[in-house]
Chain A
Amino acid sequence: MQQSTEVAPGARVIPNVVAPRPVAAPAREASTADKPAVIASDLWAYFGDTAAVKDVSFAAPAQAVTAIIGPSGCGKSTLLRCLNRMHETAPNTRVEGKVEILGTSIYGEGTSATVVRRHVGMVFQRPTPFPTMSIRNNVAAGLRVAAERPQSRAGLQDTIEEALKRAGLWEEVKDRLDDSAMALSGGQQQRLCIARALAIRPRVILLDEPTASLDPLSTQKIEELVYHLRETVTVVIVTHNMQQAARVSDRTAFLLVGELVEFAATNALFTAPKDPRTEAYITGRFG
């Protein structure tokens, strides 16, 4: 079922979405060379005694989309969850190594996981709107604890509107902001979660298989959204869907049983993989 939902829209989307990329690419290359937004060095993540992420080092460029691909259980979600310190919220877990977000070490002494998460937003595989809240309050949910929160009621409205516009949901919900979030479709709920994450103006946003539970049309909308998000925020997206990675990302990391096999510009990785394991995976010989 998943195969068909993912491959079908891909064939249609590639020409539209990927075409403008060469135009935008040079500018991004320049900023990439300047300062990567996310740098992981010698990163290990454990569940109990089992290492799910093994000695991974990579650097995600600022204001670009970095995709993490790999077969199920390869540790790609765990790797993502190390980037905003969500991994440690599960019992019996441990992280070793270093992660720098915009030059700040997030595992350094005296850093607070909750403050880190206000700068590094996250959206999950299944939409997780707060079911008892209205659409408006869902978007505002993070603002109650955000680092820079709007001072006035009007400022709050502007922030909510801006977040919903950035998430491409404003036109669909502007007349019913006080309806329950559960009245939205699955795809709309997921974009609401993206709006909720964007409302607190994170510098980096992490997407953990954001389209895995969505239909092809909703998937396409989210992919277009991700493609445009790079203009304002650094995106790291985990996906088990290679076409999706090819469509939306600038750089791609290929993970296999917790190890980073290859990390390269997306075009290069998909057209000329250097590692034979990468080639085997992207040509569909396993996973």
Chain B
Amino acid sequence: MTAIPADSAPKDRRRLAVHRVEIGDRIYEILTTACALVVPALVTAIAIAIFAAAWPALTKLSASIITSSDWDVGAGRFGAAPALFGTIVSSAVALVIATPLAIGVAIFLSEFSPRWLRQPVGFLVDLLAAVPSVVYGLWGIFVLIPMLREHVMPFLRDTLHLGATPFFSGAAYGPSMLAAGVILAIMALPYISAVSREVLLAVPRSQREAALALGATRWEMIRDAVVPYAKSGIIGGIMLGLGRALGETMAVTMVIGNRPEISASLFAPGYTMASLIANEFSEATSDLHLSALMAVGAVLFIITLIVNAIARWLVWQVSRERAI
């Protein structure tokens, strides 16, 4: 303490400069924290607004809004069960079609594709996500639906004799649950594929070599080492695609037929919650009608929330196993 030389004075000045930087850090911290808080605040605000607006319908109609199939605006009956059914079934059909296709594309691009092909094909698949949904809707009306009606539906029903099951029976009108499922599959595919491709490429070379060194063929290596390692990420990608399918409105509204009926057949027209809201909000004049639409929106909100929660839980479950 006694040995401090006289020329140590400049050091004090430097400490002042350090102090200023701390203020900058503080401002930066407050700004970023504020940004981070805005997002959950926004989501909460939206949720509160929806539920508040839906409250009159929810108290008046209670569970009948999701259990009843009777949607009669004039009579004040709002049963959205067909729309709930349609949302779930069309998304399920989409996943059944898109998942194997998307994982196949991802495995090809990450494991088999020559390097020069990987970029362009990956880019084209990603581009599917950039096409506006109304364009998909137009394509659905003018290309997909005629094709389904003329070729695919008769083939499934008559040639493969799947008409014997209730799922592929009845007249082939065109606009149908199947058409919606196919459109949604195309729209969900790039999400599933892009995420799967990234996680497959992220599987360490050591894991691949470990499988190869045991005498695995390339296919066995992918099956036993690569895909299991990437499983949690792939599930995350599927859930992302499902989220996309559940909420998609425009393209589905254009091809699903918008008929509020529950039918086992995928050839029959259907309805989804998103289409219901989109079709009716502009002519909703009575308070109860508007509130009923808000209630449908609230149900859709909850379903997507649950899907995402399940996705998080699955990913967390698998990654926790690995982290031990």
Contacts of B212 in A (CB 8 A): 86, 89, 114, 117
A202 to B228, CA, bound (A): 25
* Given known A-B contacts A121-B213, A145-B215, A182 and B206 have beta carbons under 8 A apart: no
Contacts of B231 in A (CB 8 A): 132
> A118 and B215: CB pair below 8 A?
yes
Q: Does residue A133 face the partner (Cβ distance < 8 Å to B)? A: yes
Contacts of A147 in B (CB 8 A): 215
Contacts of A121 in B (CB 8 A): 213-214
> A84 and B324: CB pair below 8 A?
no
Contacts of B321 in A (CB 8 A): 131-132, 180, 182
> B228 and A132: CB pair below 8 A?
yes
> B206 and A197: CB pair below 8 A?
no
> A142 and B215: CB pair below 8 A?
yes
A128 to B318, CA, bound (A): 18
Q: Nearest-CB distance from B228 to chain A (Å)?
A: 4
Chain B count of residues within 8 A CB distance of the other chain: 23
Q: Does residue A124 face the partner (Cβ distance < 8 Å to B)? A: yes
> B228 and A145: CB pair below 8 A?
no
Q: Does residue B307 face the partner (Cβ distance < 8 Å to A)? A: no
Contacts of B318 in A (CB 8 A): 132
A61 to B100, CA, bound (A): 49
Q: Which B residue's beta carbon lies closest to that of A122?
A: B213
* Given known A-B contacts A130-B225, A130-B228, A130-B229, A145 and B209 have beta carbons under 8 A apart: no
Q: Does residue B220 face the partner (Cβ distance < 8 Å to A)? A: yes
> B229 and A132: CB pair below 8 A?
yes
Interface of A: prevailing SS: mixed
Q: Nearest-CB distance from A177 to chain B (Å)?
A: 16
> B214 and A117: CB pair below 8 A?
yes
Q: Which B residue's beta carbon lies closest to that of A118?
A: B215
Contacts of A116 in B (CB 8 A): 215
Q: Does residue A67 face the partner (Cβ distance < 8 Å to B)? A: no
Partner pick for B215 among A124, A128, A146, A183, CB 8 A cutoff: A146
* Given known A-B contacts A130-B228, A131-B322, A132-B318, A144 and B213 have beta carbons under 8 A apart: no
Contacts of A132 in B (CB 8 A): 228-229, 231, 318, 321-322
Which parts of A49-91 form the interface with B (CB within 8 Å)?
84, 86, 89
Which parts of B197-250 form the interface with A (CB within 8 Å)?
206-217, 220, 224-225, 228-229, 231
Contacts of B322 in A (CB 8 A): 131-132, 180, 182
Contacts of B210 in A (CB 8 A): 124, 128, 130, 193
Contacts of B323 in A (CB 8 A): 182
Q: Nearest-CB distance from A71 to chain B (Å)?
A: 23
> A128 and B214: CB pair below 8 A?
no
Cross-chain pair count, CB within 8 angstroms: 78
Contacts of A144 in B (CB 8 A): 220, 224
Residue picked from A132, A145, A193, most chain B C-beta under 10 Å: A132
> B213 and A84: CB pair below 8 A?
yes
A196 to B214, CA, bound (A): 8
A146 to B214, CA, bound (A): 8
> B215 and A117: CB pair below 8 A?
yes
Partner pick for A200 among B207, B214, B225, CB 8 A cutoff: B214
Q: Does residue A126 face the partner (Cβ distance < 8 Å to B)? A: yes
A118 to B220, CA, bound (A): 13
Q: Does residue A141 face the partner (Cβ distance < 8 Å to B)? A: yes
| Chain A 117-161 per-residue mask, 1 if CB under 8 angstroms from chain B, else 0 | 110011110101011110000000110111100000000000000
A13 to B208, CA, bound (A): 34
A172 to B34, CA, bound (A): 52
Residue picked from A114, A118, A124, A126, most chain B C-beta under 10 Å: A114
Contacts of A122 in B (CB 8 A): 213
A193 to B324, CA, bound (A): 18
Q: Nearest-CB distance from A156 to chain B (Å)?
A: 15
> A145 and B217: CB pair below 8 A?
yes
In addition to A132-B322, A145-B215, 7 A-B residue pairs with Cβ atoms within 8 Å of each other are: A86-B212, A121-B214, A123-B213, A130-B224, A131-B321, A142-B214, A182-B323
**Closest CB pairs A-B (n = 8):** A118-B215, A142-B214, A128-B210, A122-B213, A132-B228, A117-B215, A131-B322, A128-B206
